[in-house]
Structure formats: C-alpha cells, structure tokens
Amino acid sequence: MANNSKQNSPNHLDIIEVISTQQALAEHIARLIKIEPRFAPVYEQIGVPDLRRKPEGFEQLMRAMVGQQLSVAAARSIWNKLVAADLTTPERIAKADDEALKSNGLSRQKIRYVRSLVEHNIDFSALATMSDEAVIKTLTAVTGIGRWTAEMYLLFSLGRADVLAVDDLAIKEGARQLLGLEARPTPKQLRDLSQPWSPHRSAASLLLWAHYGWLKDKEAMPV
C-alpha cells in the first residue's frame, strides 16, 4: 500500500502519498482507469510499468544536472570521471577549483549549476515531508534546476503519487494519442485535462511514458 505521513507545518501536506511498491502502483492504475477508462487499453498493452525509483539526495540531483542536454552515453562518461575523481559530494566540490571540475568534463555552465546546488545546502531529508509544491520551490531556487527536473526528483526519488510532468514531450505526445487530440496539448491544457486524474497522476505519467515508448517502437517496426 502507499505510505502516508502527516505534518502540521504550512509547507507540508496533511497527507503525503508515496508509491513505494509495484503493487501500490497497480492499485493507483486501477483507480486511475476508473476515472479515465481510456487508460485501460494502454494498461493491457504494457502492464504495470517499472517504478524506476532512484536514490534521494545531493548526488542524484547533481547527476541530473550533469546529464542535461547530453546523450545518455556522454552523461555516463562524465559522471564516471567525476566519481573517479571523488567530485560528487558538496564537500569535495566546494574544495575543488573550476579547473578540476572542467578537466573532469563539466562545462562552465554546469560548473555554475553544481556550485549553486552546493551553496543552497538543501536539507534532503526534510524534502521527504514537504508538499510537492514546496519541494519544487526549494529545488528550483537552485540555478540549473527547472520545474521538470524537480518533478522528476519528486516522482523517481521521493516516489510521490500525484506528479504529471506536463512539460515533458513524451507525456504530451502520449496524452495526445490517449485522448484523441489533434495537436499536442500545451502544458496548461494538459494540466487542466489531467486534473480529474488526481491523486493518481504519477501512475498516469508512468503509463504515458511507457505508451509513448510502445508507439515509437511500433513506428520503427518494418511493414
């Protein structure tokens, strides 16, 4: 089952729901299909998607920054260099000069992003009990972290149950196909269209990503 926690601070939700197991995800999908039956054939095609959970903390966000606008292979290569040089913790980065970071693959812009992450000194353990919007506000205060990156952290590191990345291309295209729209919805349109799916929008995100991948694979198949 999903986990709930209660907090009294104005920056916290009364109930924070987390999807921590494949069974919990399956339960969210079942409830989502009752709200939006057009997800049923998608579910029949792909089953329960992988939760794709990632670690929490500084290194996970830094790795997301390093990988921005790079291929998976290039991002992995740079990250491996940084790991080998022991340059993936706030303490080590604070002591390192820009030349050391540059020599291990970081561009001038990425160096600025990573230093901003260090300077903000985020209490990552506290994020687990903050509302989704409070987490997004905290993370996007860092130079180089936009709302999409913050939402990916909410969904994959914190396991939040109600996150739909409306700026994501695959989500928009998957939603277009699912809902029979003529054009990809704008973020605002998708936010409005998906509001009834709450509080199961993370399940919708995972299904739409998997559906988009299925559509791309289908397009690539020889006739």
Q: Which residues are catalytic?
A: 168
* DSSP state letters, 138-171: HHHTSTT--HHHHHHIIIIIS-BSS---TT-HHH
Quick check: helix, strand or coil at residue 5? Answer: strand
The answer to whether 144 and 43 have CB atoms below 8 angstroms apart is: no
Phi, psi of 16 (to 5 degrees): -110, 120
End-to-end CA distance of the chain: 43
Which helix or strand (DSSP H or E) is residue 18 part of? strand 16-18
